[in-house]
Amino acid sequence: MSKNDAENCNWSDGRSDDKNGGLKKRNVAGMQRVNSSLAQLADDRNFQQDLKVPEVVTAIRHWTGEKRLSEMESSSLFDEDSYAYQTHIRPCLTKLRGIQYECRGIGIALPLNSILNGHRSLSPSKKHEQSKGKRTSSSKRRVAVPSSKSEEANEEDDVAKPSTSSMVYVKQQIIQTFFMMVLFYIFMHMNKNPAAKTNSKVVPVHERETVRYDQAAAFGEFREGDEDEFSS
């Protein structure tokens, strides 16, 4: 072989073909195992009965990341002491871990819709969708955590900072209390000595006239006495 032939020859062509061929064989074998697991779940009577429980479907969707729950809801749903978790949720998740492992081996997402609908195998069109769905679901799962944290941060801010309506209501109550105190002070000042007013005696008109006449007469007698004294 000449030097030019050696340079133009791609020695990795044969090895790359063998590598691609081995990858395809592994994917085919992995897909067969996935379809076998789907068939087992479809024939599992207990598994199909558990899927009819609403809490089981909710737990599976949260577990796969399709529809995440809040921290409080997930804690209540996955409570190990609860009847639903021990009887229905935990056995289903244990069986799903097997098929999830096979799906990860060939790079596809868990065929959740096929599992919930009782399909025994994946159609060729579904395989391509599942390979895309793995990247989509993983990205959704990564985004779900920051969103929940941001919601918790917003809730903490709402608790720390009172709303505008509550502040306005407090101000109105303070102003109303202040005016009530002012009115009470004025009322008490005006009625500071009510006993003196109640004990004051009202003199009738004719008695006031009599007293005035007596005073005038006494004053006249006094003037007459003064004149006699000065004349003497």
Residue 197's SS3 state is helix
For residues 107 and 131, give the distance between their C-alpha atoms in angstroms, rounded to a whole number: 6
pLDDT at 68 (0 to 100)? 92
Q: How far is CA 92 from the centre of its chain?
A: 29
| pLDDT one-digit tens code per residue, 71-88 | 999 999 999 999 999 999
Q: CA 59, 63, 66, 67 torsion: positive or negative?
A: positive
Q: How far is CA 59 from CA 8, 56, 64, 76, 151, in A?
A: 58, 5, 9, 11, 21
- Which residue in this structure is represented by tokens 């002070």? 185
pLDDT along the chain (232 residues), means of 10: 51 52 80 91 93 93 92 92 92 92 90 90 60 47 42 47 64 85 83 56 56 58 51 48
* C-alpha distances out from residue 119 to 34, 36, 142, Å: 12, 11, 29
Q: What is the mean pLDDT of the chain?
A: 72
pLDDT digits (tens, 9 = 90+) for 179-206: 888 888 888 878 765 554 555 555 555 5
Query: DSSP letters of 123-134?
Result: -HHHHHHHHHHH
pLDDT attached to residue 76: 92
Residue 183 sits at φ, ψ, to 5 deg, of: -65, -40
Supply the pLDDT for residue 121.
86
Cα angle 147-105-124, degrees, rounded to a multiple of 5: 90
60 vs 39, 79, 186, 207, CA distance in Å?
19, 14, 71, 104
Look-up of token digits 């064989």: 25
* Type of residue at 123: S
pLDDT at 138: 46
